[in-house]
């Protein structure tokens, strides 16, 4: 996936909304872009803030807790 202006803009919004690090916000924004029009995506991470943000955005997350 290309990291274009649109993706960076969304990542910036996610950074503010969820107090994420920039790199984590890029990963989450990429996952959101990938989901549009495709099968559900399982989001895996071990960062608590990123995990909570992904779950709040409707991703199935692993680990489960």
Q: Write down the pTM of the prediction.
A: 0.86
**pLDDT digit string, tens, across residues 8-57:** 999 999 999 999 999 999 999 999 988 866 677 889 999 999 999 999 99
Handedness of CA 13, 18, 19, 21 (dihedral sign): negative
What phi and psi, each to the nearest 5 degrees, are found at residue 43? -105, 120
Collapsed DSSP state (helix, strand, coil) of residue 46: coil
Between residues 59 and 65, which one has the greater pLDDT?
A: 59
* Phi-psi domain of 19 (left: phi exceeds 0; alpha: psi -120 through 50; beta: other): left
């Amino acid at each position: 996936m290309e990291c274009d202006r649109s993706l960076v803009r969304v990542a910036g919004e996610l950074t503010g909304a969820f107090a994420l690090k920039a790199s984590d916000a890029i990963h989450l924004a990429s996952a959101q872009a990938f989901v549009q029009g495709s099968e559900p995506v399982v989001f895996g991470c071990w960062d608590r803030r990123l995990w909570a943000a992904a779950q709040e955005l409707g991703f199935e997350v692993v680990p489960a807790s």
